[in-house]
Structure 1
Amino acid sequence: MNSLTDRTPVVRRRTPLNRSQIAGFWGAWAGWTLDGMDSFIYALVLTPALTELLPRSGYAATPANVGLAGSILFALFLVGWGLSFIWGPLADRFGRTKVLAGTIFTFAIFTGLAATSHNVWELAIYRFIAGVGIGGEWALAGTYVAESWPEDRRKMGAGYLQTGYYAGFFLAAALNYTIGVHYGWRAMFLTGAVPVVVAILVLLRVKETEKWQKAEAGTVRTKPLREIFGPTYRRRTWVACILLTIAIIGLWAGAVYEPSAVIQLATKAGMAKNDAIRTASLATGLLSISTILGCLALPPLAERFGRKKTLAFYFAGMAVAIVGSFGWAFYLPNGLAPFIAWLCVLGFFGGNFALFSLWLPEQFETRVRATAFAFCTSFGRFVGAGVNFLLGAAVLHMHTLGVPVALTALAFIVGLFVIPFAPETKGEVLPQ
């Protein structure tokens, strides 16, 4: 007969986090949150900023010109994001924390400077350089958390980290609901300078990861950009680039045009201008909350069903949600409420980005991890810049917002055929 102790279930305890790991996570999370806030501020203040700056630049502030200029400026911003691959090799050479602080400092300073713009050219320059900083933060924050957290907590840490970006969306919406409505678009850009404080704290308080220190001590100096395209990593690098490109196209097609779509639907429903702006802010808040839920749900799904099946589930959900919101609800006679309801579904499946924070670090060794993460995300942003420009031209040509955005769902269908070529890393430890 078994004794009572033999029948006692084994309680699995997670490895506790030390003070440095906790401080490092919150530093990375705060940077990612303020990154999301800064990047989404532009979508929220696009119309009022360009309405004021276009006449000063010699152009009439017609809806068509605002739409076209907005798309061009956002494409430049995405090109800046694309150039952020420069941060990856720097982080592999000089460490995660110093370069992470540098990315935060860059996007904070130039977002704040956007408030001083006298014409669209100055705004374009500031947003371009801010994009370089914003683009590097995700790669470095994701790399840092993956390397610093214990193996049994690393996967959930990726989900927690990714919530920061959408918490930033929520924060931007809250600021627009209060500061933006009362003090205008310049005040909104000024709030983007706040992350400078976070950059200083990251630099002073967060320790470098042990994995990077060990790799740095024992690694013969190589060229990481060349290595990720060598025979060992070439296939997984390109597959990751394609999948991230698809995710970025879907994120920005939905997120960037969501406030404009809600404002159009609210105005159509008879709301005054300020009430329509507030409704757009509330809708953005709901989008952010649902995306956070999607981020938190993803790591357990990825652990149970695998990385590839989980991404396929999220991609399929994105395709359906984009069509349902922009292709169907947007054109209903009273489409505001159905559109916002579909935004919640869109937001949940938009949490697919959490998978890349979990999955990409598992595919590359420490000596090239930050470079690979930064390059794959940057590649997608370059393509996203081109797609965004074409999307703006399509909106201008078709005189409608819904159909062009709805067509981006096709990218996720393509993604379902690409996913099988990616490596499955379920159950594997982070490579050293």
Structure 2
Amino acid sequence: MSSTTEQSAPARRRTPLNRSQIAGFWGAWTGWTLDGMDSFIYALVLTPALTELLPRSGFAATSGNVGLAGSILFALFLVGWGLSFIWGPIADRFGRTRVLAATIFTFAIFTGLSAMAQNVWELASFRFIAGIGIGGEWALAGTYVAEAWPEDRRKMGAGLLQTGYYAGFFLAAALNYTIGVHFGWRAMFLTGAVPIVVAILILTRVKETEKWQAADAAKSHVKPLREILSPRYRRRTWVACALVTIAILGLWAGTVYEPTAVIQLAQHAGLGKGDATKTASWATGLLSIGTILGCLAVPIVAERIGRRKTAAIYFAGMAVSIVGSFGWAFYLPNGLAPFIAWLFVLGFFGGNFALFSLWLPEQFETRVRATAFAFCTSFGRFVGAGANFLLGAAVLHTHTLGLPVALTAVAFGIGLLIIPLAPETRGAELPQ
């Protein structure tokens, strides 16, 4: 009788997460989910809200005025997002968890107040301040997960975190399908006050990250905004700003006008107003599912082929899907079904935002990480605000949604030329 000795390599085990890391992730994920829900609520209730409020503000509720006012209000919302860079230096100075909770409080309270708006000026003010809170949540949630999770799990954590935003789209679509259809746009905004509970959870159950605590001693001498614009970080800061800006231009153009485009196509297909609204909700859900899958694929692809190649694939996919949906399917005689099918593809490649949750923290040290994340994302929102205003004017001038939105694909072509300038951080540990 013979015996054989088998030598096998020990199975790789992931570092277990402690209770605070788990609670912190789910707090950040839920906040980001409700953040996404809040952002997309506006796109879903745009037409009914402005149809009611424009006459109260002295304007006729024509389709042109609704489109122009919607673009202006969304541009103001993006400016609020842009001003959210203030949260970054605060978080680098006072910690991730408390400031993360503060961002959630801000957007929850002012989303709830949006339900009380009596004219477009009040709605614009509430959405502007809500935007400041919403804009800070991504930077703080992404920074927290990158620092709190073990090195062997933080990359997948970044992809999982980003799914929350698009789960929020799905949640907004579900709420619109139920609450919105039956109770109107004010009830939709009221649901946006729910995140206050998440903020309380974060304040009471989540510990500060060890990396931030370890770097705390040197913080009094650090001016993070000045440092990320210094010669040491200047190139990677501006390259990151450019890439995030392009992602925001393309994805927001598609997602903001997606419900309106679907409603128009559904009505052209003979559906009534209620059925068209429900179709828009289903289409939004499909878009969200595609994006969630795209987010989950990002860390896997990025670990195998690198950050820059992954960004190139996703940017190219965004360009093709924007042209396919808004430039081609939107103009077909029976374009509803092809347009909705393209939305799934658009959603998948819209998952490129998960790459920034993974990639940006890898490019900056702990003492300036939150500031860099917030600055790069906020810069893109400022540019996006101006581009969205121009896009609204183009829609009003051309009397069509398709062509102006389709032209945003050009931005992703420019992005393909910028990607090689970004640092490749595949295989590198998070800087201390």
- TM-score bin, normalised by smaller chain: over 0.9
Check the 8 A contact 2:93/2:219 in 1, yes or no: no
Structure 2 residue matching 1:151: 3-state secondary structure: coil
CA deviations 1:52-111 (Å, max 9, x no partner) are: 000000000000000000000000000000000000000000000000000000000000
Residue by residue, what CA displacement relative to the aligned partner does 1:219-265 show, whole Å, maximum 9, x if unpaired?
45211000000111000000000000000001110000000000000
Note if contact 2:104-2:196 (Cα within 8 Å) is conserved in structure 1: yes
In structure 2, distance between residues paired with 1:261 and 1:37: 19
Matched ranges for 1:2-401 at <5 A: 4-6=5-7, 8-401=8-401
> 2:199 & 2:186 partners in 1: Cα distance?
22
Q: Secondary structure at the match of 1:423?
A: coil
Distance 2:17 2:157 in 1: 11
Q: Which amino acid aligns with 2:169?
A: F
Render the CA deviation track for 1:318-359: whole Å, top value 9, x for unaligned. Answer: 000000000000000000000000000000000000000000
* SS of the residue 1:150 aligns to: coil
Q: For 2:219 and 2:109, how far apart are their aligned partners in 1?
A: 35
| Normalised TM-score (structure 1) | 0.99
In 2, Cα distance between equivalents of 1:393 and 1:115: 27
Secondary structure in 2 matching 1:411: helix
Whole-Å separation in 2 of the counterparts to 1:193 and 1:202: 16
Structure 1 residue runs of 4+, over 3 Å off? Answer: none
Distance in structure 2 (CA, Å) of the matches to 1:189 and 1:98: 25
Distance 1:50 1:219 in 2: 46
TM-score by length of 2: 0.99
Structure 2: segments with no counterpart, 5+ residues: none
Residues 3, 219 of structure 1: CA spacing in aligned structure 2 closer, same or farther, 3 A cutoff? farther
Partner amino acid, structure 1, of 2:5:
L
Partner of 1:403: 403
Cα shift at 1:217: 2.6
Q: Output one character per residue of 1:281-329: Cα deviation in whole Å (capped at 9) or x when no partner.
A: 0000000001000000110100000000000000000000000000000
Root-mean-square deviation (CA), in Å? Answer: 1.0
1-structure distance, mates of 2:316, 2:417: 11
Alpha-carbon distance in structure 2 between the residues aligned to 1:2 and 1:414: 63
Tell me, in whole angstroms, the C-alpha distance in 2 between the residues paired with 1:193 and 1:5.
Answer: 59
C-alpha distance in structure 2 between counterparts of 1:109 and 1:411, whole Å? 34
AA in 1 matched with 2:395? V
Call closer, same or farther: CA 1:296–1:430 in 2, change over 3 Å.
same
Q: Deviations over 1:402-430 (max 9, x none)?
A: 00000000000000000000000000000
